[in-house]
């Protein structure tokens, strides 16, 4: 499969049979211009939105006849299995910023987990439901989500083969959040790729955990 990072928490996953999954598309100019990644105008077969905020739910520019997943449940679409689990956008059971969905995607013999705008540690019951994860999309910037320290704890509890950080400050995101360096500092097996996408197969998953930092494409 191919994994592309658009920017912020938005990714496109393309399976070996060509099924296209877009997760958490953002709106260009959201929050008075604080988010300046370009709108996503690719075609999709499946679109997943973790919660109803403009930096995660902007589907208007996405092309194609797609299934939109935005509620808790289990789904199977074009050979891809998806499961969404309820969590919160904050550490106060949603009282500050509302609900958030985790999305588990199983395709091509690989299990991926996108945490959306997770705002708290994961309890043992949720970790048990998640099970073994191959690729983790992890928010690390803090303020609106878990911060670098809490993200490290979540990563260590899930123990994925590959962690891809997301939702951090870049030159196109001026939210009051930290850069990815706050999360990667002092960690082993960190790869900073010079591109926005990566190809991966089940057979090529690393034996030792890795952190892979992608460049935004938008």
- Domain harbouring 96, CATH code: 3.60.15.10
* Distance between CA atoms of residues 189 and 162, nearest Å: 10
Quote the number of domains for the chain: 1
Interval 4-58: pLDDT, tens:
999 999 999 999 999 999 999 999 988 888 899 999 999 999 999 998 777 889 9
pLDDT bucket at 187, cuts 50 / 70 / 90? very high
Q: According to the model, what pLDDT value does residue 50 have?
A: 95
Give the three-class secondary structure for 127: helix
**Beta strands at 80-88 and 162-166: parallel, antiparallel or unpaired:** unpaired
Give the three-class secondary structure for 123: coil
Q: According to the model, what pLDDT value does residue 59 have?
A: 94
pLDDT bucket at 101, cuts 50 / 70 / 90? very high
The domain containing residue 164 runs over which residues?
2-213
Q: Kindly give, in sequence order, each residue whose CB lies less than 8 Å from that of residue 8, ignoring residues fewer than 6 positions away.
A: 24, 26, 35, 37, 55, 56, 166, 167, 173, 216
* Distance between CA atoms of residues 146 and 118, nearest Å: 6
Average pLDDT over residues 109-124: 95
pLDDT bucket at 90, cuts 50 / 70 / 90? low
CB 167 within 8 A of CB 139: yes
Task: Check pLDDT > 90 for residue 93.
Answer: no
Q: According to the model, what pLDDT value does residue 99 have?
A: 84
Six token digits for residue 206:
């690393």
Instruction: Compute the mean pLDDT over every residue in the chain, rounded to the nearest whole number.
Output: 94
CB half-sphere exposure, 144, CA atoms < 13 A: 22
Q: According to the model, what pLDDT value does residue 209 have?
A: 97
Q: According to the model, what pLDDT value does residue 74 have?
A: 97
CB 180 within 8 A of CB 168: yes
Six token digits for residue 196:
């926005």
Task: Check pLDDT > 90 for residue 92.
Answer: no
In a domain, 162, yes or no: yes
Average pLDDT over residues 64-87: 96
In a domain, 218, yes or no: no
In a domain, 169, yes or no: yes
pLDDT bucket at 61, cuts 50 / 70 / 90? very high
Q: Counting beta carbons within 10 angstroms of the beta carbon of residue 17, is it exposed (0 to 12), middle (13 to 18) or buried (19 or more)?
A: exposed
Average pLDDT over residues 168-187: 96
Distances (CA, A) of 104 to 39, 69, 117, 131, 147: 24, 12, 14, 10, 21
CB 28 within 8 A of CB 35: yes
In a domain, 93, yes or no: yes
What is the Cα 61 distance to its own chain's centre? 19
Q: According to the model, what pLDDT value does residue 164 have?
A: 98
In a domain, 160, yes or no: yes
Q: According to the model, what pLDDT value does residue 13 have?
A: 98
């Amino acid at each position: 499969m191919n994994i592309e990072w658009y920017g912020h928490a938005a990714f496109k996953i393309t399976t070996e049979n060509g099924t296209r999954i877009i997760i958490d598309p953002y709106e260009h100019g959201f929050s008075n211009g604080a988010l300046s990644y370009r709108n996503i105008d690719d075609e999709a077969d499946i679109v997943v939105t973790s919660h109803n905020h403009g930096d995660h739910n902007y589907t208007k520019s996405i092309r194609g006849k797609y299934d939109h997943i935005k509620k808790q449940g289990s789904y199977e679409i074009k050979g891809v299995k998806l499961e969404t689990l309820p969590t919160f956008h904050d550490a106060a059971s949603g009282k500050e910023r509302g609900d958030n969905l985790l999305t588990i995607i199983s395709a091509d013999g690989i299990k991926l987990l996108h945490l959306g705008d997770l705002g708290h540690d994961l309890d043992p019951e949720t970790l048990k439901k998640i099970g073994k994860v191959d690729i983790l999309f992890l928010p690390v910037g803090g303020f609106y989500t878990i911060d670098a320290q809490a993200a490290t704890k979540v990563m260590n509890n899930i123990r994925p083969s590959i962690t891809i950080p997301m939702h951090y400050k870049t030159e196109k995101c001026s939210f009051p959040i930290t850069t990815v360096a706050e999360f990667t500092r002092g960690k082993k097996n960190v790869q900073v790729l010079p591109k926005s996408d990566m190809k991966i197969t089940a057979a090529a998953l690393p034996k030792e955990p890795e952190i892979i930092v992608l460049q935004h494409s938008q």
